Chains A and B, each alone.
Chain A
Amino acid sequence: MTDTRDELETRGPASGPPPLLRFVAAKVGGGVVSLFLVAVLGFFLFRVLPGDPARTMTRSTPVSAEQLAALRHRFGLDQPLYLQFRDFLLNLLHGDLGTSYIYNRPVAELIVERIGPTVLLVGTATVLAVLVGLWMGTRAAWRQGGAVDRWFTSVGLTLWSVPTFWLGLLLLMAFGVGVGPLPGLFPVAGMSSPDVPPGVVARVLDVAHHLVLPCLTLVAVIYAQFMMVMRTSLLEEMGAEYLTTARAKGLREDLVRRRHAVPNALLPTVTLIFLHLGLVVAGAITVETVFSWPGLGLLTYEALRVPDLPLLQGTFIVLAGSVIVMNVLAELIYRLLDPRVRDS
């Protein structure tokens, strides 16, 4: 096949700056459309669930038909579906996600309250897992089949396949409760102790102390994904001819790796990393439940048990929204990292 770029030697420079603005606008626009679809889906998905929300709310207490009707009226459940949908969209634009049945408080307020702890826990864990995973993946690939590779790969795959709650409980017992002579080193539940001495430093240290076990559990379970993707991607680059060029230039092996191989191998991992950052908000339902971490995951878990429709709907929209936002960001960043994408 002939390559049109090889045409005449006189192919001029790319004319003008790349239409960056148009690209950004297109991606952001696409993101907004997806967000809208998510909102629509969120609304109808929770409306087709079986069960009467008014009855759910009053499950424990006997109520009269009038009380039920009043309750329905208060939550707007007596309106036709299209009116409910219109109100839902209008409220959504104002940041109002409705009122939780179980907490009897605005959903938005609840989510804002819980999002901090979740981002702290899952965000820290994801960043650590990415760093550890990428580093280990690079090491493993550089000496493929060597002892380091075999160890890293088998340990990583084992941890990846372990059920999260089981690993969490194990760590909880070993380091939280204490086994045999080993005392409990870390707190077993929650994000802070009730009896913290005053002062910012003391509080930060207290939260960090609580963070160790849940964070460790999460990192152990997810880092292998980053490691395996990095390993595969670097292995693909290892045979690349530009690495021979780099070696022929007289570069040390670690420079060949750092300057040439890794920047190319990182590209495929960018998408994966941002997908995970998007899921950070979702929290980790299992880990937050095991360690009673007051985050969005625990909130979702509580909402599911009832089920608390407005709360579920709210968490659903926030979660989907963050995935979409992160994906748009990933595309923008990918464009910065790979000059070949910039021009297409």
Chain B
Amino acid sequence: MNPILRMDGVSVTYRGSVRPRQAVIDANLTLEPGATLGLAGESGCGKTSLALAVLRLLPRSADVDGTILLDGQDIERLTWGGLRAARWASASVVFQGAMHALNPVRTIADQIAEPIRLHSSERLSAAVSRARVVELLERVEIPARRRDAYPHELSGGQRQRVMIAMALACEPRLIIADEPTTALDVVVQSQVLSLLRRLVAERGIALLMISHDLSVLAASCRRLAVMYRGRLVEEGPAHRLASAPEHEHTGELAAAFPTIGDTASRYQGAGEPVGAAGSTRRPLLSAEGVSVEFTDRHRNRVPAVREVDLDVTGDEILALVGQSGSGKTTLARTLLGLRRPDTGVVHYDGRPIPTSGRRLRDFRGNVQLVLQDPTGALNPRHTVYEAVAEGLRVHGGAADEAARVHEALEAAELRPAEEFAGRFPHELSGGQRQRVVIAGALVLCPRVLVADEPVASLDATVRGEILALLLRLRRERGVSSLVITHDLGLAWNIADRVAVMRAGAIVETGPVERVLIDPEHEYTTELLAAVPSFERSVS
């Protein structure tokens, strides 16, 4: 049987204004019909370039060398007409973050029907193409009545399902899925993955799936390939890569997605608060019976947080886990005093948090926020020094500003501090930017850090460093952290205690070792079951 996709010595080079940049170097891949291959790698390793080269979708500034045979046809030799005919009919793509990959001003039915009409040999009547769209939507478990919805009216998971329906529209022999579940939370991710897995298996469609998350790939693909700095460094059956990775980068990628319950992926010092056992572990920041409601556009009251009791004690790392929309960010905002609870009260250090004046400012200095996306959190026109010093200035300034900024940068492991102080955010890597954000919080010597998905936008290797930093801050400076995340693996990595949130309420709280290994609440079990892992990889 001829392979559906064959790449021989493929290189992709971007002609830059300064010098050319090689995104892919000499890649060789073969995909048999119906086979599934996972392509793993960090951002910028060239995996998306490689995938887009299959349909010649790279920007004009990219040069592709080598041969790519799609279904036996040499892609580079096709005429434009031949290429357009091959696109979507031979191979279709499920893009990352379907919000942007779908046209916001056209209905989903319209967008699904477009390739059907385009690639059909005869003119299709409206009724025929509508019936086909409904059939496709039903296959991805979206009710037919939603066909006239616009992308923004759907949830993230639904949008990804629409993308999958669209990819199936012309019955292609290959589907390329580029980070199909990256923006989704664990439960939705596992639903989308199993749907995709089932559909390609039923139809014998070959799947090339790209992700930075090795465990997601292992859950869906029989073979895995690892890309590192433009090169394919390792390829093999998923279970072999999981159990015995040969290249060290494979090991690094695997380590970033810990196996819950495996003590080896618990970081040094996690679960061991420094305070002597039995000493006064009184709550530092606590919510008592906190409820928050929102008003939607129909003026209905929608509860976002319901009757939550939660304590963050001195020097502990508490992970607040839950799906998107479970209310964890709202709860965090309430704990930070950014939003007043509708009922209940938030205490800091034994007193209700102040609502105005100097005492509120003192409180804000003690409880600092670290946001998910450091690129958005930093002003691109401020140097690192200014970004870090800003907090001090807001809090009335300090005579020893330079010294304190220096110390905060050192504490966030931006060493040597002098070298970083004058740089701008765009000159830093993602991990360094997140360190700057953390330094900006540390400069005020806070006692609690509230970190909202602190590593969600970071690469696997950097992720570990930032998590280790949070642990070290706790050990060396006694800074507590409340880490908000949908990533149970992160909780297992560093947290002492974990609180599980669902639909606005905390369903379970307890030490990490107990809650994640022997959960009491069925929802926690459900969440844990949805986490993809190497152990459960398809064999």
A interface vs B, CB < 8 Å?
A: 1-9, 11, 13-15, 240-242, 244-252, 259-260, 263-264, 267, 337-340, 343-344
B152 touches A339 (CB 8 A): yes
Asked, given contacts A6-B184, A241-B97, A250-B84, whether A340 binds B150 with beta carbons under 8 Å apart, the answer is yes
Contact with A along B498-510 (1 / 0, CB 8 A): 0000010000000
B100 touches A3 (CB 8 A): no
Asked whether any CB of chain A lies closer than 8 Å to the CB of B191, the reply is yes
A245 touches B102 (CB 8 A): yes
A244 touches B57 (CB 8 A): yes
Query: Chain A's nearest CB lies how many Å from the CB of B117?
Result: 10
B149 touches A13 (CB 8 A): yes
Query: Chain A's nearest CB lies how many Å from the CB of B62?
Result: 13
CB neighbours (8 Å) of B64 from chain A are none
B118 touches A339 (CB 8 A): no
Asked whether any CB of chain A lies closer than 8 Å to the CB of B25, the reply is no
Per the CB 8 Å criterion, the residue count for chain B at the interface is: 58
The 4 closest A-B pairs by CB, nearest first: A7-B325, A250-B87, A6-B324, A6-B156
A240 touches B452 (CB 8 A): no
Q: Which residue of A lies closest to B191 (CB)?
A: A9
Query: Chain A's nearest CB lies how many Å from the CB of B418?
Result: 33
Asked whether any CB of chain A lies closer than 8 Å to the CB of B21, the reply is no
B105 touches A337 (CB 8 A): yes
Bound CA–CA A173/B194 (angstroms): 75
Asked, given contacts A242-B102, A244-B101, A251-B118, whether A8 binds B325 with beta carbons under 8 Å apart, the answer is yes
Segment with Cβ contacts to A, from B88-96, B432-440, B527-535:
B88-96
Asked whether any CB of chain A lies closer than 8 Å to the CB of B185, the reply is yes
Q: B100: which of A240, A246, A263, A339 is its contact (CB, 8 Å)?
A: A240
B105 touches A6 (CB 8 A): no
Query: Chain B's nearest CB lies how many Å from the CB of A247?
Result: 6
B88 touches A7 (CB 8 A): no
Ordered by A's residue number, 18 sampled pairs between the chains whose C-beta atoms are within 8 Å are A1-B371, A6-B183, A7-B155, A7-B325, A8-B155, A11-B155, A241-B95, A241-B101, A242-B102, A244-B95, A248-B57, A250-B119, A251-B84, A338-B104, A339-B105, A339-B152, A340-B105, A343-B297
Q: B105: which of A3, A13, A264, A344 is its contact (CB, 8 Å)?
A: A264
B105 touches A263 (CB 8 A): yes
CB neighbours (8 Å) of B52 from chain A are 244
A249 touches B105 (CB 8 A): no
B104 touches A249 (CB 8 A): no
Query: Chain A's nearest CB lies how many Å from the CB of B310?
Result: 17
Query: Chain A's nearest CB lies how many Å from the CB of B70?
Result: 13
Query: Chain B's nearest CB lies how many Å from the CB of A240?
Result: 7
Q: Which residue of A lies closest to B103 (CB)?
A: A242
CB neighbours (8 Å) of B338 from chain A are none
CB neighbours (8 Å) of B118 from chain A are 249-251
